[in-house]
Amino acid sequence: MESQLRAGLGALGLPLADPQVAQLLEYAALLQKWGKVYNLTALRGADEVLTHHLLDSLSVVTPLRRTVGAGPRRLLDVGSGAGLPGVVLAISCPDLAVDCVDAVAKKAAFIQQAAGALKLPNLRGVHARVEALADPCDLVISRAFSSLAEFVRLTGQVVGESGVWMAMKGKFPADEVAELPAGVAVFHVEQLKVPGLDAERCLVWLRRVGA
């Protein structure tokens, strides 16, 4: 898997240090080892873990860095499940403090276990319903979590006036954009190309307007 991962990183134009590559590979191994026990994900084969999980999550790193810049930020990964994309972002962007929240206790426990195994002090697994959280975040991301309107509704209390939402989607969800509540708008849509994955992907950025 290492050679394929490095080829994918090259295709994404995303240089990572050798220790980060090693952490990604160890995370992939944890997903495969504990996937069935924790019911983390339906995709457990090495090729699927690489393309559908690691590279899919890595595809948002460059847009994230370009849009929000460098420096410490607090990111909340909503409905994180197996830690996607939160664990991958914690590995790739050490300056991010990443909380992966999931309502299923064993999934949050897996992420916390992974944080220890991968030696990621900037990663936490949080067992909670996202609407019960209150601590403010700079960035809130989701991957196949809900509609855009529901995503914004459930997380509005943790996104400050200068915070942004990042929604990982397949095809651009024009119908969901049309249903966004007043006061929140899309300000950028990034088309993503995931190496080895023949499917449409995009990253929808949202923020508050008219405040």
Tens-digit pLDDT profile for residues 41-54: 655 567 788 988 99
Give helix 105-117 / helix 18-38 axis angle, nearest 10°: 150
Confidence of residue 160 (pLDDT cuts 50, 70, 90): confident
Tell the CATH topology of 2-208: Rossmann fold (3.40.50)
The vertex-69 CA angle with 15 and 195, nearest 5°, equals 35
Q: What percent of the chain has pLDDT over 90?
A: 77
| Whole-Å CA distances, 74 to 11, 93, 151 | 28, 11, 18
pLDDT at 42: 59
3-state percent helix, strand, coil for the chain, nearest multiple of 5: 45, 25, 30
